[in-house]
Each structure stands twice: as C-alpha cells, then as structure tokens.
Amino acid sequence: MFDTLAFAQDILSQKGRLSEALGLPSSNHQHLTAIVAYQHLIDNWVEDGAIAPTHQTVLAALDIALLLTVTGQLIYHTSPGPVGEIMINLRNGDKSVELLAYPSGRNKFVRIGSDETPQQGLLTPESLRETLQWLNR
C-alpha cells in the first residue's frame, strides 16, 4: 500500500517547484506542510488535555487540502483542534468556511457570512462543491 503522508512529505520538500510547474496556489504549500506535521502531535499537545489527530484524520485533512489546492482554492489557515480534529479555514471577503476533519470520519463544514445565518452540515463531495460555490460568488 502507498503511504500518502510519505508521498506528501516528498512532494512538499520540493519547496513550491511542483506548485509553480502545475500552476497551483503556492501559498497553500505552508498549509499542506502544517497538516503533514500534525501527524507528529501527541495527546495533551497544548497541555490542556487536547487529543492528537489520528493518522486517518491527518490523511482526511490532507486529502481535502490537496483537492482545494488542485482546484486553485486558497487556504487561509489550518489548525489542529482539542478533540483530535483538523480545521481548514477558507476566506473570501466577508465570508468564511471551516472544513473540519474528525477522528470519527464524520467530517463537517461551517459557512459564515456577514449577512447570513451560519450554516453547518456533513462534509460530502456535494456539500463541498456547494460550499466552494457559495464562498467564491
């Protein structure tokens, strides 16, 4: 079986040359690198009882971030969370999206717009497509 994290580490070590060659957002490089690094966190990583992301959670977040990168969507921020989740934040003007990869595999999205009621739900290919369309219009 192919080790996706090892592959990502190899690609990301090329310091953006791949992004430039493929015309992908080079600013996403640091966020992809951060997600790969989350695999090295241990429980209680911020000394307040936070749970470290599992291997599967890191892979799920990396899959989402790579998909965003390939489609040209800029990633604003990434962060591990207290219950082992990984958050990928996207922004456009007054709109913000959080894509959350959880250890349980039940990934979620949260959409926040200044003139709208926040929306959240299960992250599926369809909801991701709709969320990106909402963010970028």
70 pLDDT tier (thresholds 50, 70, 90): confident
Whether pLDDT at 12 is above 80: no
pTM of the model: 0.86
Phi first, then psi, for residue 17 (nearest 5°) are -60, -35
By the 8 A CB rule, do 60 and 87 touch?
Answer: no
pLDDT of residue 52: 96
22 pLDDT tier (thresholds 50, 70, 90): low
- Residue pLDDT, tens place only, 90-126: 999 999 999 999 998 899 999 999 889 999 999 999 9
Domain ranges of the chain: 4-136
